[in-house]
Chain A
Amino acid sequence: MSNAGWIETCRADEIDEEDVLRFDHGSLTLAIYRSADGKYYATDGLCTHEQVHLADGLVMGDIIECPMHNGRFDYRTGEAKGAPVCVNLKTYPVKVEGGRVLVQIG
């Protein structure tokens, strides 16, 4: 399987369960999540409302909450869950290989 377009981000054990980590790649900022059941997800790292880093926010269940205005997204699908956020987050395919989290950005 080709790894074209995939980037290596953090170690899988760097993120706690039900938590999030920021990862910057060039001008791209990602938020990488580990759910309570141990699955990994990735979205754009900045809130679609006021460009706040989502990795500074709180993960509760499948929801990431923006630390400034409480805008909420389902981090698995990127779906915006209501005001003040109305634009969905972009999500990225994720896989774990050799203990590292890989994200497909291209």
Chain B
Amino acid sequence: MADGGMVIVGAGECGARAAQALREAGWSGAVTLIGEESLPPYERPPLSKALMVAAGEPQVAHPLTRDAAAQKGIDLLLGARVAEIDREAHAVILADGRRISYLKLLLATGARPRRLAVPGADSRDVLYLRSFADALAIRERLRAGARLCVIGGGFIGLEVAASAVARGCRVTVVEVTPRILMRGVPAPLAELIARRHEQAGVRFRVGAGIARISESAGTVKIGLADGDEIECDVIVAGIGAAPETLLAARAGLAVENGIRVDDRLRTSDPDIFAAGDCCSAPHALYDGRRIRLEAWRNAHDQGNLAARNMLGGDQRYEAVPWFWSDQYEMTLHVAGLADQATKHVKRDLGDGAELHFHLAGDGRLLAASGFGPLGKVAREIRLAEMLIQKGAKPAPDQLAAPEVKLKSLLNA
């Protein structure tokens, strides 16, 4: 029963990182990493960006190759689906009947795209992006001159829109809420990003609900709730993702907007951990509020942390949430959660780049967001992230002044 090793379900960024972190921390027993896809773990962020626009044969980068797995003694089971967790016996049962016993189990099952639920949404011209195979299918359809309609003005939708422009497509983005990037990006920055897309020829329909999708003679029609119609050749829907919780729920683990974990990433079963897109954890920096993140950095950090805690560590998850999105020659970086901020301060970085700071009523910096060339934005947001982590209360007039170095505020 307890003679098993460390078992990880889900071979994305999070699972692959955790498997390697177990070895880096000195664990010499068995490590089994189980993934449903047949490809070794690969990086998803480029799927909507570099992979869409790169000339030649599309490639993905692997944070863990088959060779590296073999060399590190990580048993990589690909194309394998876990059907059930037998908590009593400490074993996972694969769809083909194999049993693998575990000492500690990590669920890094990720998330899956939410599906459009309107009449006609099952059309073969409605595509979603999550996997490498999905990205290849979309890329194939984004031929020069093609009319693309993106449903959803979030990160994925806007990145696909920018990539499609680069491929010569005509692009319309339809968003049901009053503006793009409602979740996680403050309004003034979302406005700046919308302008950049419009410069590139992207058209927006915001506050527009979808009523139906229909097809006739090779043309797809999106019927909007207000009666308008948009004609296009292909649709990419990026309307969010749902955490993969089925396995956990079936095993009787607590689920609350993802697999419920504590701040050590332990589920309601002390021998089972969860990390990455699939779980929600309380966050000390945000009053213990339970948050679930779909982001590369979070998957990476939580994979590291879960591995150490599986080996008896007692580390708390407290990293500042951080996201990025590349669109055209610009990048959007966000550190922290801005939704409970009451004061907003803008710093102009020049060259069309802006930094926005979001502060709580008591003056604490909760979040910072920036849009512009990478070289203008990245290090400022990184410094802001460190200020947020410290619980700093920087003076708003200093945040607004471009000549005041954020590094100097950090050492203050």
Give residues in A with beta carbon < 8 Å to B: 18, 22, 50, 52-53, 55-58, 65, 67-70, 82-84
Nearest CB of chain B from residue A35's CB, rounded to whole Å: 14
* Residues of B close to A82: CB separation below 8 A: 24
Give the total number of A-B pairs whose CB atoms are below 8 A apart. Answer: 41
Question: Would you call A56 and B63 a contact (CB within 8 A)?
Answer: no
Whether A53 contacts B379 in the complex (CB less than 8 A), given A69-B296, A70-B297, A83-B17, comes out as no
Interface residue from B61, B379, B407 paired with A56 (Cβ < 8 Å) = B379
Contact B324 A58 (CB under 8 A): no
Partner of B379, one of A22, A50, A67, A83: A67
Tell me how far the C-beta of B33 lies from the nearest C-beta in chain A, rounded to whole angstroms. Answer: 15
Interface residues of B in 370-386 (CB under 8 A from A): 374-375, 378-379, 382-383
Q: Does B300 sit at the interface, judged by CB under 8 A?
A: yes
Q: Chain B contacts of A22 at CB under 8 A?
A: 375
Residues in A with CB closer than 8 Å to B297 are 69-70
On whether the beta carbons of B375 and A50 are closer than 8 Å, the reply is: no
A36-B304 Cα distance, complex, nearest whole Å: 30
Chain A residues with CB under 8 Å of B296's CB are 69
Chain A's interface: helix, strand, loop or mixed, by majority?
loop
Q: Which residues of chain A are within 8 angstroms of B61 by Cβ–Cβ distance?
A: 50
Contact present for B379 and A57 (CB under 8 Å): yes
Q: Are B382 and A58 interface neighbours, CB within 8 A? A: yes
Q: Across the interface, name the chain B residue whose C-beta is closest to A58.
A: B379
Given contacts A58-B382, A67-B379, whether A53 and B374 have CB atoms under 8 Å apart is yes
Query: Are B378 and A57 in touch, CB under 8 angstroms?
Result: yes
- B48 touches A (CB below 8 Å): no
Q: What are the residues of chain B within 8 A of A58 when measuring CB–CB?
A: 378-379, 382-383
Query: Would you call B20 an interface residue if the criterion is a C-beta within 8 Å of the partner chain's C-beta atoms?
Result: yes
CB <8 Å contact, A56 and B17: no
23 CB < 8 A contacts A-B: A18-B407, A22-B375, A50-B43, A52-B374, A53-B375, A55-B375, A56-B374, A56-B375, A56-B378, A57-B378, A57-B379, A65-B382, A67-B379, A67-B382, A68-B378, A69-B300, A70-B297, A83-B17, A83-B20, A83-B24, A83-B63, A83-B300, A84-B63
In the bound assembly, the distance between CA atoms of A2 and B43 in angstroms comes to: 46
Main secondary structure of the interface of B (DSSP, over half): helix
Specify the chain B residue showing the minimal Cβ separation from A68.
B324
A19 nearest CB across to chain B (Å): 9
Interface residues of B (CB under 8 A from A): 17, 20-21, 24, 43, 61, 63, 296-297, 300, 304, 324, 374-375, 378-379, 382-383, 407
- Known contacts A84-B63, A84-B300; is A67 also within 8 Å of B378 by CB? yes
Q: Which residues of A contact B63 (CB under 8 A)?
A: 83-84
Top 5 A-B residue pairs of the complex, sorted by shortest distance between their CB atoms = A67-B378, A56-B375, A58-B379, A58-B382, A56-B374
Give, as a whole number of angstroms, the nearest-CB distance from A40 to chain B. Answer: 19
A34 to chain B, nearest CB (A): 14
Among A53, A57, A70, A83, the one with the most B-chain Cβ atoms within 10 Å of its Cβ is: A83
> From residue B24, how far is it (CB to closest CB) to chain A in Å?
8
Chain B neighbourhood of A55, CB < 8 A:
375
A56 and B43 alpha carbons, distance in the complex (Å): 21
Given contacts A55-B375, A83-B300, 18 further A-B contacts (CB under 8 A): A50-B61, A53-B374, A53-B375, A56-B374, A56-B375, A56-B379, A57-B378, A57-B379, A57-B382, A58-B378, A58-B383, A65-B382, A67-B378, A68-B378, A69-B297, A70-B297, A82-B24, A83-B24
Residue of A nearest to B378 (CB): A67
Q: Chain B residues with Cβ under 8 A from A52's Cβ? A: 374
CA distance A9 to B374 in the complex (A): 22
Q: Please measure, in the bound complex, the distance between the C-alpha atom of A83 and the C-alpha atom of B324, giving whole angstroms.
A: 19
Complex contacts, A70 vs chain B, CB 8 Å: 297
Q: Tell me how far the C-beta of A30 lies from the nearest C-beta in chain B, rounded to whole angstroms.
A: 15
Chain A nearest CB from B343 CB (Å) reads 26
Separation in Å of the B192 CB from the closest CB of chain A?
Answer: 19
Contacts of B21 in A (CB 8 A): 83
Q: Cα distance A55–B374 when bound, in Å?
A: 10
User: CA separation between A87 and B379, bound complex, in Å?
Assistant: 22
Inter-chain contacts of B24 with A (CB < 8 A): 82-83
Min CB distance, B58 to chain A, in Å?
Answer: 15
Chain A positions within 8 Å of B304 at CB level = 83
B residues within 8 A CB of A53?
Answer: 374-375
| Chain A residues whose C-beta falls within 8 Å of the C-beta of B379 in the assembled complex | 56-58, 67
Residues of B with C-beta under 8 A to A18 = 407
